[in-house]
Amino acid sequence: MVPAGSDETIPVVNPANGEIVATVPAGTAEDVDRAVAAARTAFAGWAATPPAERAAVVRRIGAGLGARGEEIAVAITAEMGSPIGMSRTAQVNFPVAVAESFAALAADFAWTEEVGNSLLVREPVGVVGAITPWNFPLQQIVSKLAPALVAGNTMVFKPSEAAPLTARILAEVTAEAGLPAGVFNVVYGTGPVVGEAISAHRDIDMISFTGSTRAGRRIGAVAAETVKRVTLELGGKGANVILDGADLGTAVRAGVTMAFANGGQVCGAWPRMLVPASRHDEIVALAIAAAREYTVGEPTDEATRIGPMASEAHREKVDGYIQRGIADGATLVFGGPGRPDGLEKGAYVRPTIFTNVDPYSAIAQEEIFGPVLTVIPYADEDEAVEIANSTTYGLTSGVFGEPEQATAVARRLRVGQVDVNGGHWNPFAPFGGYKQSGNGREFGRAGLEEFLETKSIQC
């Protein structure tokens, strides 16, 4: 952790009740300077460490996070409202799996390669600046830190000021795992101050950012002044394309899950359900039945499946989109504006389903980042593909149907990842977006290569 040079602090607010659960330092540009200097000093030694030793440290980091899983889960639930069940599974288990996957990759990775009379040498980029969002606060940083460390880089990290609590735990775990001082540096603070300073810093060689497309545009513009490498994992508006040959029960339940999980606060969510017009009403009935299982409530309650939105400001944004959907003429069949009954306090919204949605309306085109599902009918497969590809985003989607047809449709979707008939997450497969969902890839060999430079030595 980088000691703050200012006495100013930022409150961390529990969105379930509005109470302040912690404070963190309000970092400054000078704090970033000190963190970058530490990372630059540590770089040579860490880059010279054999890849197998770097991988062993990353493997110990993953084990250390797993050992503190309950502490991490409680912290994430308190700071951003993820239901405790979700925090204990996805919020903890995903980053542990990611750390292990990158440690495993190191053994067989081609760090050098002979091509004709050339020796190709893959080397670390240098000092990496990492900036992450609040929805998966530990997962997002481990997805950057693990490959960056295996590749031999050092890092300066700014967590979201709305969900910074796991950053301290991660820093402690990295030290206990044997990571040398200066290799991983945490600077708390806001985007306009600390994020801007990281993006512009001349001694930072690469920026890895996950967050909104708006913020990604700003980071890319600022980083361009020093021509540093930038990888961006940004917004999404995924489509769940249900074909005529699909098992409707499976397809609809999976689609509702992918729209409502983590309160819909997932860049890879599927908030659009594209359905054959002839089966629209049948599918809507199934979606409503599935949605009734998503209990909204106090996130520490084991029965809760949707907690509060991550902040009151975000609750107001999501609620505004629900009101916009009604005003634009979509048919509200489940949920609606306002807080759920009995939850008058806290950043809660009603999980909501709209039908007969214009595919080019605001609720079908813009990223809401909340539990709002739009059901959109289509006439044939070509129209389904056209609608699925109609947004400015291209991160994830799903297709359900006869396997050969579903795979053929998946190939036509302009997105970085498609799940066919509920395909399971694979930490060795690359993840990233087309269009305004970003550039670069996370996970697997492609994710490791993002943090490497390639040198060609002619002999």
Enumerate the domain spans of the chain: 9-234+435-458, 239-420
Rounded Cα–Cα distance for residues 316 and 307 (Å): 15
Strands 352-355 and 331-334: antiparallel
Rg of the chain taking only CA atoms, in angstroms: 22
Residues with Cβ within 8 Å of residue 160, at least 6 apart in sequence: 132, 133, 134, 137
Please give the structure tokens belonging to residue 121: 């040498």
Sheet harboring 438-439: ordered strands across? Answer: 184-186, 154-158, 127-131, 206-210, 229-233, 438-439
Rounded Cα–Cα distance for residues 179 and 54 (Å): 9
Mean per-residue pLDDT pooled into runs of 10, the chain (459 residues): 77 98 97 98 98 98 98 98 97 97 96 96 98 98 98 98 98 98 98 98 98 96 97 98 97 98 98 97 98 97 97 98 98 98 96 96 98 98 98 98 98 98 95 97 97 97
Rounded Cα–Cα distance for residues 22 and 81 (Å): 14
pTM: 0.96
Any catalytic annotation for residue 459?
no
User: Which entry of 79, 196, 267, 298 is annotated as an active-site residue?
Assistant: 267
Rounded Cα–Cα distance for residues 46 and 37 (Å): 14
Question: What's the confidence (pLDDT) of residue 249?
Answer: 97
Rounded Cα–Cα distance for residues 280 and 284 (Å): 6
Matching residue, tokens 């880089």 = 153
Rounded Cα–Cα distance for residues 9 and 36 (Å): 21
Distances (CA, A) of 319 to 40, 257, 312, 341, 343: 45, 20, 10, 15, 15
For 336-353, what is each residue's pLDDT tens digit?
Answer: 999 999 999 999 999 999
Question: What's the confidence (pLDDT) of residue 7?
Answer: 86
For the chain, the residue count is: 459
From the list 157, 47, 43, the residue with the least C-alpha distance to 455 is 47
Rounded Cα–Cα distance for residues 281 and 278 (Å): 8
**Coil, strand, or helix at residue 317?**
helix
Matching residue, tokens 């000093």 = 41
Q: Per DSSP, what are the bridge partners of residue 112?
A: 121
Tell me which CATH code domain 9-234+435-458 carries: 3.40.605.10
Buried b (16+ CB within 10 A) or exposed e, 129-159: bbbbbbbbbbbbbbbbbbbbbbbbbbbbbbb
Question: What's the confidence (pLDDT) of residue 296?
Answer: 98
Please give the structure tokens belonging to residue 440: 């670069």
Please give the structure tokens belonging to residue 98: 């990611």
Rounded Cα–Cα distance for residues 206 and 216 (Å): 14
- Contact (Cβ atoms closer than 8 angstroms) between residue 425 and residue 258: no
- Contact (Cβ atoms closer than 8 angstroms) between residue 148 and residue 226: no
Q: 239-420 adopts what CATH topology?
A: Aldehyde Dehydrogenase; Chain A, domain 2 (3.40.309)
For 159-196, what is each residue's pLDDT tens digit?
Answer: 999 999 999 999 999 999 999 999 999 999 999 999 99
Distances (CA, A) of 46 to 15, 41, 53, 182, 445: 39, 10, 10, 10, 20
Please give the structure tokens belonging to residue 253: 């339940």
- Quote the distance between the C-alpha of residue 107 and its chain's center: 27
Rounded Cα–Cα distance for residues 378 and 243 (Å): 10
Question: What's the confidence (pLDDT) of residue 350?
Answer: 98
Buried b (16+ CB within 10 A) or exposed e, 260-285: bbbbbbbbbbbbbbbbbeeebeebbe
From the list 76, 84, 77, 95, the residue with the least C-alpha distance to 165 is 76
User: Which entry of 100, 161, 196, 233 is annotated as an active-site residue?
Assistant: 233
Any catalytic annotation for residue 267?
yes
Q: Is the dihedral of CA 197, 207, 393, 256 positive or negative?
A: negative
